Amino acid sequence: MARPRPEPMQVVKQRRDAALNAIVEGVPYIRFLNITFDRRGDELTGVLNFDDKLIGNPLLPALHGGVTAAFLEVTAVITLSWEYFFPRIESGEIDAEELIKADAVRFPKTVDFTVDYLRSGLPRDAYARAFVSRSGRRYASVRVEAWQDNHARPIAQATGHFLMPQNKSEAG
Amino acid sequence: MVDKVAIARRFIEAIPHARALELELTTIGDGEAAITMPYNTELVGDPRTGVIHGGAVFTALDTCCGAAVMSHPSAPGGTATIDLRIDYMRAATPGQSITARATCYHITRNVAFVRATAMDEDQDLLVATASGAFTVEGL
């Protein structure tokens, strides 16, 4: 039996980008901090686009520690959601168009989040990548790190636990 | 003592991101601080529920912890977060302001230990708790 022809690249890209946009867009706080996501295949990198209002110490100046923490948490939650949706979109179980509908995306809830501040955040863009250590039916554990000019010199790292969204039919 | 409180209040209110979140320092002194963050639709984490994003609550708690350290009688001046852990108990009620209260319960020459709580207008149920370690810096 012949293998089906691969889909044209533009079709694949458009579907994946539409799905990512559906997850990220519409969250006011992500827009407020101006966080965007770069996608390479299934791998996401969060980008915190610098703005003066993100400063926490005007004397240094440095990013606010709360902004760094929020950036790490947003990256963790979006990566966790993405890793949940990506295979389902690729297999056709979920239609990327359907994700755009308001009630399709439900985010994991943060149970706890622990941030280590390693270096002060400079007044420029920052990047973050999250690694899902475990994702079960109810709980997930995620590690995430943020850096600026030099990936080998992270400005902060965090670990968090999350409660996965439950289907209403499964909820007792 | 009064001077240090005034300095701390000015310092907090001069923080650009604290201004962006409209944080208001309501209490400060002797290692304790309270900060209120008004409800703001720009800070919503889930547009279907209108609940404030945990990251904004984290920022209010972090700022409040820093203020508590600076107001401690044994703190010579500034501080920076070494680590901070937050536990989320429940979603903050949409439309309500959030109040963070922090206590610097122990301080050494180098490290300050802080715990904090966050509540909305329901004063019986916690929204979040936090605990962390902060640096102790000279002025």
B88 in A contact zone (CB under 8 Å): yes
List helix spans (H) across B41-117.
54-70
Q: How many domains does chain B have?
A: 1
* CATH number of residue B122's parent domain: 3.10.129.10
| Amino acid sitting at position B52 | I
User: For B94, phi and psi rounded to 5 degrees?
Assistant: -60, 140
B90 in A contact zone (CB under 8 Å): no
Give B77's contacts in chain A (Cβ within 8 Å): none
Domain with B62, as residue range(s), is: 2-135
CATH architecture of the domain with range A9-163: Roll (3.10)
Give residue A172's pLDDT band: very low, low, confident or very high (50, 70, 90): very low
Give residue B67's pLDDT band: very low, low, confident or very high (50, 70, 90): very high
Pick the more confident residue, B131 or A165.
B131
**Residue A93: pLDDT over 90:** no
Tell me the two tokens of residue A147: 């850096």
Phi-psi domain of B32 (left: phi exceeds 0; alpha: psi -120 through 50; beta: other): beta
Which secondary structure element, helix H or strand E, spans residue B120, and what is its range? none
Is the CB of A28 less than 8 angstroms away from the CB of B81?
no
Is residue B138 classed as helix, strand or coil in its secondary structure? coil
Please identify among residues 21-60 of chain A the ones whose CB lies closer than 8 Å to any CB of chain B: 26-29, 31-33, 52-58
Give the single-character DSSP code of A155.
S
A116 in B contact zone (CB under 8 Å): yes
How confident is the model over A32-44, as a mean pLDDT? 94
ipTM value of the model?
0.93
pLDDT of residue A163: 96
Place of tokens 């950036």: A71
Give B52's contacts in chain A (Cβ within 8 Å): 29
What are A116's strand-pairing partners? A157, B83
CB nearest to A73's CB, from B18, B55, B62: B55
Give residue-wise pLDDT tens across range A145-162.
Answer: 999 999 999 999 999 999
Give residue B65's pLDDT band: very low, low, confident or very high (50, 70, 90): very high
CB nearest to B55's CB, from A55, A58, A70: A70
Nearest CA among A124, A141, A84 for reference residue A107: A84
Q: Distances from the Cα of A77 to the Cαs of A5, A63, A82, A114, B120, in angstroms? A: 34, 21, 8, 14, 23
Nearest CA among A23, A166, A73, A85 for reference residue B88: A73
B59 in A contact zone (CB under 8 Å): yes
B50 in A contact zone (CB under 8 Å): no
* pTM, two decimal places: 0.93
CB nearest to A28's CB, from B47, B58, B62: B47
B109 in A contact zone (CB under 8 Å): no
